[in-house]
A and B are shown apart, each in its own frame.
Chain A
Amino acid sequence: MKRRKFINKIITMLIILLPLSVSATELNSPNYKIVGVTTNTGGVTQTIDGDYSALLEAGRVSNNPRNYSSTYKLYTSPEEAFIASVPSVSCFETTTSGHSDCTTGPEELSSGGMVAICGPSGCYDRARFEIGNSSNPADTLYAVMISTDNFVSDIRYVDGNTFWPESISTHNLNDFHTKTDWENPDFNLLGLQSSTTYYIKIFALHGDFTQSDAGPAAFATTSSGSVFFDIDIEDSSGISAETNPPYGISFTGDYRLIPGSTPTTAEDRIWMDARTNSQGGFAILTRGLNGGLKSNTTGQTIVSATADLNTTPDGFGIQSEYINQDTYPYLGTITAMSDYSGTGNSVGIVGTSATKVYESSKPVFNGRMALKVIAKAGTDKVAAADYQESIYFVLIPRF
């Protein structure tokens, strides 16, 4: 008795739930119309019934082996003639290097792969796909489904406006674009997570109620991001020098500071390597422990400031001497901040607060920079051999 009650209860609950599922799958209407479709060729006028014609052969030949043999064949439903052809993904790329299957993107992509337009190791938050149109006309619209688990439980679409993944609930007709419109942006998938494999499928639509089945899934894995930073100490010829810590620059011997004399440029330079695929490029900042060259013996400090040391009695700072990076027109270039890009004996501050020395607003391949260290001792500075400053450098990628 109890069991029957329980079964009745379950049945009643299902009956209550039923309208929800019915309303979600209701597709038909007694008043619908099909507009704007293109039929396949091959339709013939059927006259054996005398009074009317029908598109009996408008459908495609069935691919189902049960429906054809060497002596007969069956056509699919005429409705199939209105369904757009199933599109394919002709390329879906994130980290290709040196080559690309994509053909309608920027030239750098075709020749260098995604690393040429995203930076070292490729793209960590974006991708490019292109559509195989399967002979659909040019005005066919396409929508893109995206997933991180090959559509097992994560099923989303690509927003046609932002190109970010969106939930099924916000997917609408605005997410359908022509092949040209989808492929016009260099990156047509944005807002992706790094180190993640994404699967995409594409649907075609050419008129109301003509959406095709999803094409075969393609997948690509995003980069985990990339950043590199290194310091080297070498003279002005050290473009390719690699040195190990500890790093030191000295004003001694012939480079000693003589109070009241002209500014002295240290023989060695501070060289730095930088590369990253962070879309916001990077910033290199500096700060000093003392805010200048400080002597514990004399208690005096040759204070660092942004200044032209030719016209100041005393000072200390750094000046950019060399900047270079691999040439990728699509990527970024490194620039020195104005305080550090002077000439002659104009220097930028190494203060106790961090200041930006170099910057790139985009990813950079194999950046190389060099800084001069210039100092001038005023006549008030007492002789000592222990004037010193520790200059810290940090590279911050902007992801």
Chain B
Amino acid sequence: MKKIIGFLKYVIPTTLLVLILSFLIVTATQAATLSAVYVFLSRLKINLNGTGTQAVEMILAIDTSTPVASGSTIKIEFPDAEDTRWCRTAGALTVAGVASSAVDLPASNWSIDAALPGTLSATCTQGGTGTVDTITISNVGALTAGTTYGVKISAGTGTLGTDSTAGEHVLNISVNVGGVPIDSKSIKIYLVNDDAVVVSATVADIASVSCSISSNSVNLGTLYPGGTYATGSHTIGTSTTSNGYYWAVYGTGDGSTDAGLWSGTTLIQSGPTATLDLTSSTVYGFGITLSDPDGTDPATVTTNFVNTTPGIFGTIDRLYSGAKLVLYQNGIQASSEPSTVTYGAKAQPTASAGSYTEYVYFICGGYY
């Protein structure tokens, strides 16, 4: 018995010594590099404070080169000179595995294969002297080398922000067992002074044109066959938010041959010529003139219908197919502007007595 005890006195310390040496050999082993990593930050703007519209969240994709048993921790460590910038408020973070992300590169190690397993929890700790801002994900399940896992981290009681300096920032990502890094990789991300483009737009009103006719009937009075010409008038008004407007007119006449005043048996026609000089003793017929709404451009009365020479009227034709442009404007007309439409008529000597009527149709529209 004494011999056994004596023997054990040597064997036990020796065994312990061997074990300690073995442990030192293991701990001296260099951490392998992670096969693939990306950190998908939701914002790249500098100096985000982590609250409200400045909240920051991230998705970590990680593929170890070494199989890792359940119970490991994953750390994301930020530069020492940037303490308290990334971990704006220390505390628990919201963490959940994700099975994919928009950053995934199909058919590569940078494509998430599975959500990070485990009963995950995460904390954000702020750095100080000799320490750095660190996100620690704990209770990670077993990891298979060659499988890329995804995990999303966002604010909880702890909040994430960004550093105040634009440019490259080094993040060290590691998978640890018992506090010892098994796999790790240092990567870089890039912060910019501003990551947003503000797009502003003015939506204009739908372009429109407003048209008015002051009266729907004009009485030219009594025309005497072979006598002088008679006139009557009303106004038209126009405004538009489009790029301009136009007026066109056509008549009905006798329903078959020409526009003009029609009694049912006799037509005082508008005639085949472009204009009628009703001051001439030999000229009879029916026509119209318009006044220029603004006296200058942009509103324009077409040449045959200007009212600058008394007694000269432009002739009109029948039907929509015979409509003639009488007034137009190239440009917006914010407020309504009027134009006086004057009708002139002179009965030929053979005209029979009776009531004469012409229906003159006005078409108003906009240029869009």
- Write the residues of chain A forming the contact surface with B, with a CB cutoff of 8 angstroms: 9, 12-13, 16-17, 20, 125, 148, 153-154, 156, 164-165, 167, 191-195, 224-231, 233, 244-253, 256-261, 266, 270, 278, 280-281, 283, 285, 289, 293, 295, 302, 316, 353-356, 359, 361, 373, 375, 377, 379, 381-399
Contacts and interface: CB of A to CB of B under 8 A. Distances in A.
Contacts of B31: 193
Contact of B199 (A231, A256, A260, A391): A391
Contact of A9 (B10, B30, B38): B10
Contacts of A233: 197
A231 B38 contact: no
Given A230-B192, A398-B36, A270 B197 contact: yes
Given A388-B199, A399-B37, A148 B30 contact: yes
Contacts of B185: 125, 193-194, 399
A115 to B, nearest CB: 16
Contacts of B41: 394, 396
Contacts of A381: 203
B198 A354 contact: no
Nearest to B191: A229
A399 B184 CA distance: 12
B11 interface: yes
Given A16-B14, A224-B188, A230-B192, 17 more contacts: A16-B11, A125-B185, A165-B32, A229-B44, A251-B200, A256-B203, A257-B201, A259-B203, A261-B368, A278-B187, A280-B38, A280-B110, A379-B206, A393-B197, A396-B39, A398-B36, A399-B185
B203 A283 contact: no
Given A12-B10, A229-B190, A231-B194, A249 B207 contact: no
A248 B103 contact: no
B204 interface: yes
A383 B204 contact: yes
Interface of B is mostly: mixed
Contacts of B168: 225-228
Contacts of A386: 200
Interface residues of B, number: 57
Given A231-B197, A398-B110, A385 B202 contact: yes
A399 B204 contact: no
Contacts of A191: 32-33, 35, 65
A357 B113 CA distance: 22
A192 B184 CA distance: 10
Contacts of B194: 231, 245-247
12 contacts: A13-B10, A164-B32, A224-B186, A227-B188, A252-B202, A256-B201, A280-B109, A285-B40, A354-B102, A356-B102, A377-B203, A394-B43
